[in-house]
Amino acid sequence: MNTANPSAKMPPRLKRRLIGMAVFFAILCLIYVVINIMTDGKFLSAFNIKTIITHAVFSSILAFGMSFIFSAGIIDLSIGAKVLLASNVGLIFAYDFNLGYPGLLLGTILCCIILQLISAWLVVSLKIPSWIAGLGVALVLEATLAEYSTGRIKSGLTSVINMTDDMRLFGTTPVMFTMMIVCFIVAYILFNYTKIGINLRAIGSNASVAQAMGVNYKKSIFIGAIVGAIFIGIASVIQISYNTKLEAVTGLSSMSRMFNSLAAVLLAQSINRIFNNTIGILVSSVVLMSVFNALTMLGVPSGTWQTVVLGAIIVICGILANIGNKGVVK
Average pLDDT, integer, range 63-85: 95
Distance linking the first and last C-alpha atoms of the chain: 55
Question: Quick one: three-class SS letters along 157-180?
Answer: CCCCCCCCHHHCHHHCHHHHHHHH
Instruction: Kindly tell me if the per-residue pLDDT of 3 is higher than 70.
Output: no
Of 235, 198, 212, 273, residue with least CA distance to 59? 235
Of 161, 137, 160, 165, residue with least CA distance to 150? 160
- pLDDT score recorded for residue 330: 41
Instruction: Kindly tell me if the per-residue pLDDT of 203 is higher than 60.
Output: yes
Report residue 228 CA to chain centroid gap. Answer: 10
Instruction: Kindly tell me if the per-residue pLDDT of 21 is higher than 90.
Output: no
What tens digit of pLDDT does each residue of 291-302 get?
Answer: 999 999 998 887
Q: What is the DSSP string of 39-91?
A: TTT-TTSHHHHHHHHHHHHHHHHHHHHHHHHHTTT---TTHHHHHHHHHHHHH
Q: Which is more confident, 3 or 141?
A: 141
Torsion of CA 31, 33, 36, 41, to 10 degrees: 170
Torsion of CA 134, 184, 322, 328, to 10 degrees: -40
Residue 9's identity, in one-letter code, is K
Q: What number of residues does the chain have?
A: 330
At residue 18 the predicted structure's pLDDT band, cuts being 50, 70 and 90, is confident
- pLDDT score recorded for residue 309: 85
Average pLDDT, integer, range 72-94: 95
d(CA 118, CA 125): 10
CB–CB of 103/86 below 8 Å? no
Whether the pTM exceeds 0.85: the reply is: yes
In angstroms, the Cα distances linking 234 to 35, 60, 103 are: 33, 11, 13
Average pLDDT, integer, range 240-257: 92
